[in-house]
Amino acid sequence: MTDHGVPSLPAVMYEEVVRGALAEDLGRGGDLTTDAVVPAASLSRGRVISRAAGVVAGLAPGASVFQLLDPDLEVTFEVSDGDHVVAGSVLMTVSGRTRPILTGERTALNLVGRLSGVATLTRAFVDAVAGSGARVSCTRKTTPGLRTLEKYAVRCGGGTNHRFGLDDAVLVKDNHVAVAGSVRAAVERARAAVGHTVIVEVEVDTLEQLGEALEVGADAVLLDNMNIDELRRAVEMVGGRLVTEASGGITLDTAAAAAATGVDLLSIGALTHSAPSLDLTLELDPTAG
């Protein structure tokens, strides 16, 4: 559990990703530069430092980069996932043999920087809608292979997670409706096919489709690309009978207005597909072990 109440990820949920990232970087010959330049007995202490303000996420996966390369490396976290840090903050220190520290540097910075960027953007959206009661949620628009970690980073930023994959909830989208012929037909088919514990959500583009979703008994509705007036009217139509989710083109400039309509959720793909990485660096002190 982080200091911010977000359950920490077990190592089994990210070690495969970390191993793959290291294998991608090490290739077939290993770290040619470090192995040639740095004596095998050299000891150092490295500090991972943020060059910009932001919200931290992914410290444990970052640490595992170093410890998979050398289990004897000592890693100390100076902050926690979910913490807001200022430029110049030390996030973690790693001490021990210099070679694995330098070999793991880029992979560790890539992971922590990417996840911290997601957490930072999420926190900006969460702050933008503060006081409205609406929650900020991510989508499946994640980096292939990094979904678990990116959704964890969203939680570190104060957001919530939408479904993790195609197998944990039903989301009837416009193409499903087009094939089925109507919202009613699509929802009825979904209800007949899945178990009673599976949520059935349906995407609607119009208030007419919303009325159909209400009649057929969907559990949640995704109000897709509706303007502020349409969102407000949709919330009034629903009257608290099911979960309402606004989606499509929501930005930091428009999030507060969308939240003020009374929707329960704002689902925002940009949290994961457009978040810039937090700028990190590793400063090495080769005199310290």
Question: Phi then psi for 203, rounded to 5 degrees?
Answer: -85, 130
pLDDT at 288: 60
Measured CA to CA, the distance from residue 168 to residue 27 in angstroms comes to 36
Residue 115: is its pLDDT beyond 60?
Answer: yes
Compute the average pLDDT of residues 197-218.
96
Q: Which amino acid is at 125?
A: F
Is 224 noted as a catalytic residue in this protein?
yes
Q: Which CATH class is domain 11-122+276-285?
A: alpha beta
Q: Which is the catalytic residue, given 201, 224, 245, 264?
A: 224
Q: Which is the catalytic residue, given 47, 135, 140, 141?
A: 141
> Could you read off the pLDDT of 60-97 as tens digits, one per residue?
999 999 999 999 999 999 999 999 999 999 999 999 99
Is 106 noted as a catalytic residue in this protein?
yes
Percent of the chain predicted with pLDDT > 90: 96
Is 141 noted as a catalytic residue in this protein?
yes
Q: Which CATH class is domain 127-273?
A: alpha beta
Instruction: Return the SS3 of 133.
Output: coil
Of 11, 34, 18, 2, give the one whose Cα is nearest residue 112: 18
Q: Which is the catalytic residue, given 106, 168, 236, 285?
A: 106
CA-CA-CA-CA torsion for 255, 256, 261, 262, nearest 10 degrees?
Answer: 90
Burial class (CB in 10 A: 0-12, 13-18, 19+), 199: middle
Question: pLDDT higher for 64 or 196?
Answer: 64
Provide the whole-model pTM. Answer: 0.95
pLDDT at 3: 81
* Strand pairing class (243-247; 90-97): unpaired
> Could you read off the pLDDT of 239-270 as tens digits, one per residue?
999 999 999 999 999 999 999 999 999 999 99
Compute the average pLDDT of residues 18-45.
97
200: its two tokens: 């059935």
């990485």: which residue's tokens?
277
Of 151, 122, 134, give the one whose Cα is nearest residue 58: 151
Domain boundaries along the sequence of the chain: 11-122+276-285, 127-273
Q: Which is the catalytic residue, given 173, 236, 241, 285?
A: 173
> Could you read off the pLDDT of 156-183 as tens digits, one per residue?
999 999 999 999 999 999 999 999 999 9
